[in-house]
Amino acid sequence: MKYAVVTFGCRVNQADSLGVEAALTAAGAEAVSCERADVVLVNTCSVTASADQGARQTIRRIHRENPDARIVVTGCFASRAPGDVAALPGVSAIVPNLRKDALAATLLPMLGREPGEGPCGRPPSPGLMGRTAWTLRAQTGCSETCSYCIIPTTRGPSRSRPLRDVLDELARVVDAGYREVALTGVHLGAWGRDLGAADTLASLLDALAHAPGDFRVRVSSLEPMDCTPAVLDVVAAHPARFAAHLHLPLQHACDDMLRAMQRPYTRRAFAALVDDVRRRWPDAAIGSDVIVGFPGETDAQAQTLASYLERSPLTHVHVFPYSDRPGTVAEAMPGKVAGPVVKARASRLRDISRQLSSAFRRSQVGRVRPALTIGDGHVAVTDNYLKVPAPPGLARNAWVDVEVPPLDGVAAEPD
C-alpha cells in the first residue's frame, strides 16, 4: 500500500504524476520514499541524452536500495526505448505515453486496490508531491516538426482536452484549496485545434479568466508563434487571474539556425513579441529556452545568440546543450559541434542568464507584489516569479503582498 513517484522533465510530466498521485492517495495508498515503497513509478524524460541517462541511473539506484520494489516506468524514455528500459533491473511494467491514462489502473492492483476504490483516501491538497501549485494539463502531444525534437515521436500528435474537462478539473482542485494553477501542455498553444473552430488558446484562457474561485493561473511554456495578440489581450485584461509571467522558447537568435531547427518564426518576430510583452507588462518575468551547439552552429552564430540575449528584455534563460535524439532530422545533419565547444558556449549563456535574472530582480526591489507561500511557509513566490522571504507565521499556500527585498540570500528564480 506504499508507493513513491519520481518525476523527470517538463511540467506535462509533473501534471501526469500529480494526477496519478491524486488517484493513488484517493484510493488510500500512502506516499513514502523510494526505499520504503512497494511500488515506485518513474516518469521519465528523453529530451536530451543526459535525461535518458538520469532515468537509467535512478532506476538502478531504486532497485539497489529497495530490491523488493516493483518499478513501473512511464514517460518519454520508456516510450522511445521500451526494450532498454525493460532490461533494467527491477522493472515490472512499462506504460508508454499513449497509455498514460491507464497508469492508475496499472498501479492500483499492484498496491492491492482496485481503480475507484475508496473512500478511505484523501483528495489531493496543496503540498502533494511537495508542490504548492496544481499543474493542469490542457493538452498533450505535438504535431510540430522541430528538427531536433523527439517529443512528437514519444507523445504522438497534439490532442486537446475538451474545455469542460479542463474546467471540471480546475473546479475540483480550487475546491480542494489550490490557489495557483500552472496551465500546461506539450504544445499548449495548439490547444483546441483538434476540437473546433471556436476553440483556441485565447478562448481557453478567457474561460479560465472567468472561472469562479480565488486562484491564479501561471501559463507554462508557450511557443512564440502561439503567443498571439489575442492571447496577450486576455492575460493583460485579467492581471489578478494571470501571473505576470510568460515563458517563450526562442531556441536561437540566428534565422539560419531557426530554419535548420524548423522553427516557424524569425529572430525579428521573436524580438518584437517580447518587446510587446514588456511594453504591456513592465514587471513581467519573461523566460526562454535556447539550444546551444546545434549542428552547424558557428562561433559567429553563437556570438549572435549571446549578443541578442544580453540586450533582450528576457529575465531568465534555460540553456540546453544540443544532443542527438535518435531518429530526428537533426541527428542526420552534418557539422556536429565538438563537446568542449558546446560546453564553453553553454557556460557563457548561463552567465548571461544569471545577469538577466539579477538585473530583473534589482529592477523589482522595493515593489510590492502578490505572492503565494510555498514549502513550510517561510518563502513566497511572487506573480512575476521571484522567490522572496514571507512574513513570519504563515503556512504553505497563503496569499501575501510582499515588498521585493534586495537579492541577498534569495535565489532569483523559484526553481
Provide the binding-site residues for ligand SF4, judged by CB under 6 A. 142, 144, 146, 149, 151-152, 186-187, 223
Q: Which is nearer to ligand SF4, 151 or 253 (CB)?
A: 151
Question: What is the CA 149 to chain-centroid distance, rounded?
Answer: 16
Can you read off the three cell numbers belonging to residue 111?
498496491
Residue from 9, 54, 305, 341 nearest 150 by CA: 9
Q: Is 311 exposed, middle or buried (0-12, 13-18, 19+ CB in 10 A)?
A: exposed
- Residue tagged 530490491 (cell numbers): 67
Q: Minimum Å distance from CB 148 to ligand SF4?
A: 7
Q: Which is nearer to ligand SF4, 51 or 372 (CB)?
A: 51
Q: Which is nearer to ligand SF4, 265 or 399 (CB)?
A: 265
Q: Half-sphere exposure of residue 179, counting CA atoms within 13 Å on the CB side?
A: 18
Q: Minimum Å distance from CB 142 to ligand SF4?
A: 3
Q: Minimum Å distance from CB 140 to ligand SF4?
A: 10
Q: Minimum Å distance from CB 227 to ligand SF4?
A: 13
Q: Which is nearer to ligand SF4, 78 or 142 (CB)?
A: 142
Instruction: State the angle between helix axes of 299-311 and 339-364 in degrees (0 to 180), rounded to the nearest 10.
Output: 10
Q: Quick check: 380 and 374 in contact, CB under 8 A? A: yes
Q: Which is nearer to ligand SF4, 21 or 223 (CB)?
A: 223
Q: Which is nearer to ligand SF4, 4 or 142 (CB)?
A: 142
Strand pairing of 134-140 and 159-160? Answer: antiparallel
Q: Which is nearer to ligand SF4, 144 or 283 (CB)?
A: 144
Buried/exposed 348-378: b ≥16 CB within 10 Å, e otherwise: bbeebbeebbeebbeebeeeebbbbbbeebe
Q: Minimum Å distance from CB 402 to ligand SF4?
A: 34
Q: Minimum Å distance from CB 382 to ligand SF4?
A: 27
* φ, ψ (nearest 5 deg) of residue 291: -110, 130
Q: Minimum Å distance from CB 151 to ligand SF4?
A: 4
Q: Which is nearer to ligand SF4, 146 or 257 (CB)?
A: 146
Question: What is the CA 199 to chain-centroid distance, rounded?
Answer: 23
Q: Minimum Å distance from CB 27 to ligand SF4?
A: 32
Q: Quick check: 31 and 3 in contact, CB under 8 A? A: yes
Q: What is the DSSP letter of 120?
A: S
Pairwise CA distance, residues 26 & 58, whole Å? 27
Beginning with the edge strand found earlier in the chain, give each strand of the sheet holding 216-219 in spatial order. 159-160, 134-140, 180-185, 216-219
Q: Minimum Å distance from CB 61 to ligand SF4?
A: 29
Q: Which is nearer to ligand SF4, 78 or 91 (CB)?
A: 78
Reported for 340-349, long-range contacts at CB under 8 A and 24+ positions apart, including other chains, are 341/293, 342/292, 342/293, 345/292, 345/293, 345/297, 345/302, 345/306, 346/292, 346/293, 346/319, 346/321, 348/306, 349/290, 349/292, 349/305, 349/306, 349/309, 349/317, 349/319
